[in-house]
Homo-oligomer: A and B are copies of this chain.
């Protein structure tokens, strides 16, 4: 089969001919019809996050396609089924995995980001059927980016829901792909008013169109004051999809007592929490991390029957993967790029 492989950090991906995988007992092979090209792939390719155990390696952790072959003992999917692939594969044995939180497994072996090859290829080996979510109406190409770009904000929101109430606004910082899905998901999951802060007027227009009630350009002075006017006493929850020093400080300062700050974006920032000074008592501050299998099933159920729609997607064939990489690096991709091997 054809696969885009990384041979050394910093290099271009090469389109290689490699043997197609075959499913062992309990496994399945997927013909990949869509593989989202995620911003974090850039850091792996460049070597900034040098986590690959060996090279050459096939990246691609946002995958969907059609079941091509099933190993013995696979019962819940069959050849020809359209499926999305949960990618946060864990050991299946530790307390996190048996407790349903496979995404935080300390021995996690994520698809495309470990010894497991990813989806920038014609076929993908999936080690267990529990990772496959059947799609009824949704085109797998469209489903691929949901497995990360929608799942990550979904978990962040789902875990904050107990402190979100109709009479307190919530704050979303960052109106890129994840922030846009966050706004769509918040509209589905709560009637609470939504405030979005970003530095791009264009992105703020986009989230307003998606249903954000208030938008704030935090390039301007006084973003915190404007939030406080809209949410006297503070917002119930703040989701930071940027994760820079300044955005984390804004999220902490804006949140009311008993509220929750959810740090999502891995922008390299440090939250500096000084009691009673930079944050309020009884705020919980947490770092949300991708999502678990149940959460992905919930996201895809929403998408499959149209309750959740996609953000803008840009489909590109495998041959143009290096071009996609460069366009993403230079900020020319709007929404999300999806490779269609």
Q: Indicate whether A233 reaches chain B with its CB closer than 8 angstroms.
A: yes
Q: Mark A293-327, 1 if CB is under 8 A from B, else 0.
A: 11001110110000110000000000000000000
> Within A93-138, which residues are at the interface with B (CB < 8 Å)?
93, 95-102, 104, 106, 128-130
Q: Indicate whether A166 reaches chain B with its CB closer than 8 angstroms.
A: yes
Beyond known contacts A101-B258, A273-B287: 19 more, CB 8 A cutoff: A75-B93, A98-B130, A98-B293, A98-B294, A100-B101, A101-B282, A106-B233, A106-B257, A167-B297, A189-B190, A266-B276, A269-B274, A270-B273, A270-B274, A271-B272, A275-B287, A282-B288, A284-B285, A285-B285
- A296 to B289, alpha carbons, bound, how many Å? 27
Evaluate contact between A104 and B285: CB separation under 8 angstroms.
no
Q: Indicate whether A11 reaches chain B with its CB closer than 8 angstroms.
A: no
The residue on B at minimum CB distance from A165 is: B298
Evaluate contact between B104 and A302: CB separation under 8 angstroms.
no
A-B contact pairs, 11 of them (CB 8 A): A93-B130, A97-B130, A101-B257, A101-B258, A167-B302, A189-B190, A268-B274, A270-B274, A271-B273, A273-B273, A282-B289
Q: Indicate whether A50 reaches chain B with its CB closer than 8 angstroms.
A: no
Q: Indicate whether A283 reaches chain B with its CB closer than 8 angstroms.
A: yes
- A191 to B130, alpha carbons, bound, how many Å? 24
Evaluate contact between B282 and A285: CB separation under 8 angstroms.
no
A104-B258, A129-B93, A130-B98 in contact; A281/B272 too (CB < 8 A)? no
- A324 to B65, alpha carbons, bound, how many Å? 56
Chain B residues whose C-beta falls within 8 Å of the C-beta of A270 in the assembled complex: 272-274, 278
Chain B residues whose C-beta falls within 8 Å of the C-beta of A91 in the assembled complex: 75
Q: Indicate whether A162 reaches chain B with its CB closer than 8 angstroms.
A: yes
Chain B residues whose C-beta falls within 8 Å of the C-beta of A188 in the assembled complex: 166, 191
Chain B residues whose C-beta falls within 8 Å of the C-beta of A307 in the assembled complex: 166, 191
- A284 to B279, alpha carbons, bound, how many Å? 14
Q: Mark A198-216, 1 if CB is under 8 A from B, else 0.
A: 0000000000000000000
User: Residue among A26, A129, A284, A289 with the most chain B CB within 10 A?
Assistant: A284
A7 to chain B, nearest CB (A): 27
Evaluate contact between A281 and B276: CB separation under 8 angstroms.
no
- A272 to B269, alpha carbons, bound, how many Å? 10
Q: Indicate whether A56 reaches chain B with its CB closer than 8 angstroms.
A: no
Q: Indicate whether A47 reaches chain B with its CB closer than 8 angstroms.
A: no
A23 to chain B, nearest CB (A): 13
Q: Indicate whether A46 reaches chain B with its CB closer than 8 angstroms.
A: no
Q: Mark A218-245, 1 if CB is under 8 A from B, else 0.
A: 0000000000000001000000000100
Q: Indicate whether A286 reaches chain B with its CB closer than 8 angstroms.
A: yes
Evaluate contact between B93 and A298: CB separation under 8 angstroms.
no
Q: Indicate whether A328 reaches chain B with its CB closer than 8 angstroms.
A: no
Q: Mark A73-88, 1 if CB is under 8 A from B, else 0.
A: 0011000000000000
Question: Which of B189, B263, B279, B293 touches A287 (beta carbons < 8 Å)?
Answer: B279
Q: Indicate whether A92 reaches chain B with its CB closer than 8 angstroms.
A: yes
A105 to chain B, nearest CB (A): 9
Evaluate contact between B191 and A257: CB separation under 8 angstroms.
no
* 6 closest A-B pairs by CB: A167-B301, A281-B289, A100-B100, A188-B191, A271-B273, A285-B285
- A96 to B283, alpha carbons, bound, how many Å? 13
